[in-house]
Chain A
Amino acid sequence: DTEVTQTPKHLVMGMTNKKSLKCEQHMGHRAMYWYKQKAKKPPELMFVYSYEKLSINESVPSRFSPECPNSSLLNLHLHALQPEDSALYLCASSPTGTYGDEQYFGPGTRLTVT
């Protein structure tokens, strides 16, 4: 199984809502990533988990809260988002999180904040 799955595919939420994005992989990868992608722009790294520990936080606002319950799962908890947070949120995984890795991307969650 070489697939990264993300749920939900689409999410519409108000600025006062709390929601979560979920990402799952069963390739035995030990690094997982969250990216934010605006239209016609490349993905921007948000967080990296390596061996279930947060290793990189790219100065992301606290209204985004990542969680890695185990090596196969990655969540992104959302609270009090702004309309400018509307974007495609991509999850990726890689074997070890080192520079030689290939990243495998999920299909993304299209988030709209109203």
Chain B
Amino acid sequence: KNQVEQSPQSLIILEGKNCTLQCNYTVSPFSNLRWYKQDTGRGPVSLTIMTFSENTKSNGRYTATLDADTKQSSLHITASQLSDSASYICVVSARTGNQFYFGTGTSLTVIP
């Protein structure tokens, strides 16, 4: 069964600290993996996309990693800011069926 699981479910960190969010998936055959940021009451916004051959990709203070062998991805946020408070969703696409599989999300709260 194609599934995407994220951990932790929620996280509270101090402003300026770093954090890492995890995404494990069983989607097969794998096409790509995206990390989205969703502010409360708003639509998700894409942060990064990882394909099978990519291990690391950065977008400003966001760095995503992908291990296609273990089917794991992480999103590392450096020097967190209050505006980073949001839900972070991992979405995996399969090469068949044209489906997007959404993870359960991690709710991040950055406090001053």
Enumerate chain A interface residues (CB-CB to B < 8 A): 4, 40-45, 48, 55-56, 88, 90, 92, 97-108, 110
Query: Which listed residue (A45, A99, A101, A107) contacts B43, Cβ 8 A?
Result: A107
> B residues within 8 A CB of A44?
102
Q: Give the one of B89, B97, B100, B105 with max A CB within 10 A.
A: B100
How many of chain B's residues have a CB under 8 angstroms from any CB in A? 27
> A residues within 8 A CB of B105?
40-42
**Docked pose: A13 CA to B36 CA in angstroms:** 30
Please determine whether A100 and B93 come into contact, CB atoms closer than 8 angstroms.
Answer: yes
Shortest beta-carbon distance from B108 to chain A in Å = 13
Please determine whether A42 and B102 come into contact, CB atoms closer than 8 angstroms.
Answer: yes
With contacts A42-B89, A105-B45, A110-B41 taken as known, whether A99 is within 8 angstroms of B32 at the C-beta atoms is: yes
With contacts A98-B98, A99-B95 taken as known, whether A42 is within 8 angstroms of B46 at the C-beta atoms is: no
Please determine whether B43 and A92 come into contact, CB atoms closer than 8 angstroms.
Answer: yes
Enumerate chain B interface residues (CB-CB to A < 8 A): 31-32, 34, 36, 41-46, 49, 87, 89, 91, 93-100, 102-105, 107
Please determine whether B89 and A97 come into contact, CB atoms closer than 8 angstroms.
Answer: no
Shortest beta-carbon distance from A54 to chain B in Å = 13
With contacts A92-B43, A100-B32, A102-B34 taken as known, whether A42 is within 8 angstroms of B103 at the C-beta atoms is: yes
> B residues within 8 A CB of A98?
98
With contacts A45-B100, A99-B32 taken as known, whether A108 is within 8 angstroms of B43 at the C-beta atoms is: yes
**Docked pose: A50 CA to B49 CA in angstroms:** 22
Shortest beta-carbon distance from A23 to chain B in Å = 11
Known: A42-B103, A105-B44. 9 other contacts (CB 8 A): A41-B105, A42-B105, A99-B96, A99-B97, A101-B93, A102-B46, A107-B42, A107-B43, A110-B41
